[in-house]
Structure 1
Amino acid sequence: MTVQFRDSLSPGDWWVHPTGQKNLITDVPGVTVGHTTLNQGTTARTGVTAILPHGGDLFDRPVHAASAVLNGFGKSIGLVQLDELGEIETPIILTNTFAVGDCGKALIKRAIRQNPAIGRKTATVNPLVLECNDGIVNDIQAFHVTEEMVDHAIDQASEHFQQGAVGAGTGMKTFGFTGGVGSASRQVKVDAKCRYHLGALVLSNFGQKSELRVMGKKYSAFNPSLPDAQDKGSIIIVLATDAPLDSRQLGRICKRAGAALGRMGSYWGHQSGDIAIAFSTQNSHSRSGAAEYEATRLAENSMNIFFHAAVEAVEEAVLNAMWFARASVGYTGKTLPEFHAFLTQAS
């Protein structure tokens, strides 16, 4: 069994809601994740991460979705139509800032291969690509990411995936440590009959070292002498659930993701692109089907438990991203330390 951050904690009631079986976003049935990692020579520290809401044709069977821009210093594509229609119709791709265009083109080409009528006899497709700047570790001007890396990440997506400095997270930094991709999940019990999952996956590249709080303890209390930097970076938060939520309700959950960042000491700095998206695997319907369809929806007075679960899952996902990431040396020779060293020092 993989040892996660929570396994390093002393016994206690650190979080309220129980995790899913794997404590990953893929505890939501049907969701899969894949990576392509590029860690070559002295300049390439980057990659691609793909999140698939289901294994079918997303253009034909989109999923209900929403987004929330906590701080808009970002270069993502696909968010405008996502919020207008409340749907996601491609795999979700995470990558570095300068690779957004190539990844978007790869998604469009892949959708056309599945649906040759796109752009000719039917509507165009809305590729969804979100990014963080890995330029501290990766030579971002070298444009290492290729369209083929997107296809590879999608093709090898599964329920089990690595965390830490892998895929899109290969060159990321979080609170002064090596960051990357992290995930967590929660079981959500609405009543005796209604039990659901809510999972989070983050691309974590944010935070100011002196402000870091781990389970309520401030980092600077353990080592106030280390150099600091501004809170500039980004975090992409992807939330998934099998609860029957519509796009408006999913948008409400997205907004709560910011509370998790605040719990860790982030104030969403000027140059930090902090974006959350959420989708539900329920009530997906074929565009080629009937003009009307019936759908169930969770009652509004049941939303609070999802808000709480989202905050917990996002916070733990960030900690897992840091926990699994090992020290890395960037193309300029700068070394990012690993979170494990901090935990050893602070214990």
Structure 2
Amino acid sequence: MKAALALLAVALASQADARARDLGIPFEGKAGPLNAITDIRGVEVGQKTLIEGEGALKVGVGPVRTGVTVIFPRGKADARPVYGGFFNLNGNGEMTGRAYLDDFGIVQGPVGITDTNGVGQVYAGIQQWHSKHFGSATWPVVAETWSGYLSDLEGYHVTPETAVAALDSAKPGVVEEGNVGGGTGMVCFGFKGGIGTASRVVTIESESYTVGVLVQCNTGARRVLRIAGAPVGAALANRWLPCFDRKLAAKAENLPPCTEDGSKGVAPPDQGSIIIVVGTDAPLMPKQLDRVAKRAAMGLARLGSYSGNSSGDLILAFSTVPGEVNHEDQAKPSPIQAIANANVDPIFEAATQATEEAITNALVAAKTMTGANGARYFGIPHDELRSILKRYNRLEVTK
């Protein structure tokens, strides 16, 4: 049995690196060249992944399955704030910077995403990095999801230095997805989850704009999962379920043992949280960005989520349009000319579409992971996913 489980873990972990579209999953809308939040000019993403140890949980030692993901709206060489918006779909989570968002509608500095007990450390790391590079600290947005299924959460392994490493690594271009950065220890609809991204390009009054989304997915009940409209969660309700090494875990009699296909596991409830960051180069004011953030929630709903009581589902939106924003020290009016509300529907639609695809990309990219006390969370099996989609006529022919 041990040998079979080991072979299974290797097979699942070695699924070819793929994104949702590579599997033939259909999506609406026109994606940008990278199909990532970095399709927005100037946006840079950095990540630091911490994976250490295995076996029984020992607080302060490990196993460690965590990290930090950061997003620079204007790139790490440009400290100017951007207009921002926010939507609290369900508040069982934390996102700093709400006072600035509520009163001034701005986002200061880079956005950090990490695990639940790392918020303060990442906040401090961003302040230290910003002070070193620009001469003063900033008051950033930092958000979290809970890594306690797989990682030594109470060991406080994320430090300010972890955040600094993520900040230093930030760059434009391709964004790594799945078990990386803040998403390292996360679970999504009962499968291994993590980081995902996507983008859309829209035209409004002959002007082209990009909407990009990055998610850290750690939410969702297995039974409700829908991908491209197909009831994938129901089809896989009794297989590839989370399981544990009962020799390692405390109170093992209450935990499901691992089998070759996870058929004796138990699906977790809708809890654990999701952070969604929506960026755009479209000229939008803070209230408009609040409305964009709400539409990202509809992208989450397309996957079947009902935003459970124990899930912190928090959404940030920002605009990178050039020009001074009305921050607390600005003496002149902002020169930004916003898109008329009557013309903003394509941005709303793009935010919904890109969020749906970003979450699906997180699921597809994430690979099976074993963490604290031998807890194993399976990556969604690509072949079976394709088979289910084909059954419901929701599979595109791939080249």
Whether these two folds match at TM > 0.5 is yes
Structure 2 partner of 1:340: 381
Residues 58 and 91 of structure 1 are in contact (CA less than 8 Å); yes or no, is this contact kept in structure 2? no
**Which position in structure 2 is the counterpart of 1:122?**
none
* The 10-residue stretch of structure 1 (256-265 or 42-51) with the greater mean CA deviation from structure 2: 256-265
SS in structure 1 of the partner of residue 277 of structure 2: strand
Q: Which amino acid aligns with 1:248?
A: K
TM, length-normalised to structure 1: 0.91
CA-CA distance at 1:127 after TM superposition: 2.1
Out of 121, 131, 139, the residue aligned to residue 144 of structure 2 is: 131
Question: Equivalent residue for 1:87?
Answer: 106
Q: Report SS of the residue matched to 1:217.
A: coil
Q: Tell me: CA distance 1:344–1:54, structure 2 relative to 1, closer, same or farther (3 Å).
A: same
Percent of residue pairs identical: 37
| Inter-partner Cα distance in structure 2 for 1:265 and 1:289 | 43
CA contact (8 A) 1:62 1:284 kept: no
The 3-state SS of whatever aligns with 1:295 is: coil
- 2:178 & 2:238 partners in 1: Cα distance? 26
- In our comparison, the structure showing a higher alpha carbon Rg is 2
Instruction: State the distance in 2 between where 1:90 and 1:161 align.
Output: 19
Given that 1:58 and 1:88 are in contact with CA atoms closer than 8 Å, whether structure 2 keeps it comes out as no
Give per-residue Cα distances to partners, 1:272-298, cap 9 Å, x unaligned: 000110100014428787523422110
Unpaired runs of 5+ residues, structure 1, are: 119-124
Partner of 1:181 in structure 2? 195
Q: Deviations over 1:288-311 (max 9, x none)?
A: 875234221101111111111111
Relative to 1, partners in 2 of residues 1:307 and 1:64: Cα closer, same or farther, differing over 3 Å?
Answer: same
How big is each residue's C-alpha offset from its partner over 1:210-256, in whole Å with a ceiling of 9 and x where there is no partner? Answer: 11011111124423434332101100000000000111111100011
Pairing partner for 1:47 from 52, 67, 81: 67
How far, CA to CA, are the matches of 2:342 and 2:114 in structure 1? 37
- Measured in 2, the distance between the counterparts of 1:253 and 1:180 equals 23
CA contact (8 A) 2:324 2:335 kept: no
Take 2:297 and 2:338, find their aligned partners in 1: how far apart are those partners?
A: 25
- 1:209–1:117 CA distance, 2 compared to 1 (3 A): closer
CA distance in 2, matches of 1:98, 1:139: 10
CA distance in 1, matches of 2:282, 2:170: 22
Matches within 5 A, 1:89-238: 89-116=108-135, 125-159=138-172, 160-191=174-205, 193-226=206-239, 227-238=266-277
Q: Decide whether aligned partners of structure 1 residues 105 and 18 sit closer, same or farther in structure 2, where only a CA change above 3 A counts.
A: same
Q: Larger strand proportion, structure 1 or 2?
A: 1
For residues 4 and 168 of structure 1, do their structure 2 counterparts lie closer, same or farther at Cα, with a shift above 3 Å needed? same
Q: Tell me, in whole angstroms, the C-alpha distance in 2 between the residues paired with 1:198 and 1:83.
A: 22
**Change over 3 Å in CA distance of 1:56–1:133 after alignment to 2:** closer
Quote the Cα distance in structure 2 between the aligned partners of 1:181 and 1:140.
Answer: 18
Quote the RMSD (CA, aligned, Å).
Answer: 2.0
1:6 is aligned to 2:21: yes
AA paired with 2:211?
L
- Residue 21 of structure 1 pairs with residue 21 of structure 2: no
Q: Is the 8 A contact 2:178 2:367 kept in 1?
A: yes
State the SS of the aligned residue for 1:213. Answer: coil
| CA 134–284 in structure 1, closer or farther in 2 if over 3 Å, else same | farther
Match of 2:59 in 1: none
User: Is 1:313 equivalent to 2:354 in the alignment?
Assistant: yes
Larger mean Cα displacement after TM superposition, 296-305 or 165-174: 296-305
> What is the CA distance between 1:184 and its match in structure 2?
0.1
The answer to whether residue 108 in structure 2 is matched with residue 67 in structure 1 is no
Distance 1:128 1:302 in 2: 29
Residues 63-113 of structure 1, C-alpha deviation per residue, up to 9 Å, x if partnerless?
A: 000111100001222122222211111100000000101111112222322
Q: In structure 2, do the counterparts of structure 1 residues 228 and 3 end up closer, same or farther at CA, with 3 Å as the change threshold? A: closer
Distance in 1 separating the partners of 2:375 and 2:19: 27
Tell me by how many angstroms 1:114 deviates: 3.6
Gaps of 5+ in 2: 1-16, 55-62, 240-265, 391-399
Contact 1:71 1:273 in 2 (8 A): yes
2:341 pairs with 1:300: yes
Q: 1:295 to 1:40 in 2, by over 3 A?
A: same
For residues 233 and 41 of structure 1, the distance between their equivalents in structure 2, rounded to whole angstroms, comes to 23
Amino acid at match of 1:45: R
How far did residue 56 of structure 1 move?
A: 5.2
* Divergent runs of 4+, >6 A: 286-289
Q: Give 1:320's aligned amino acid.
A: N
Separation of aligned partners in 1, 2:41 and 2:185: 30
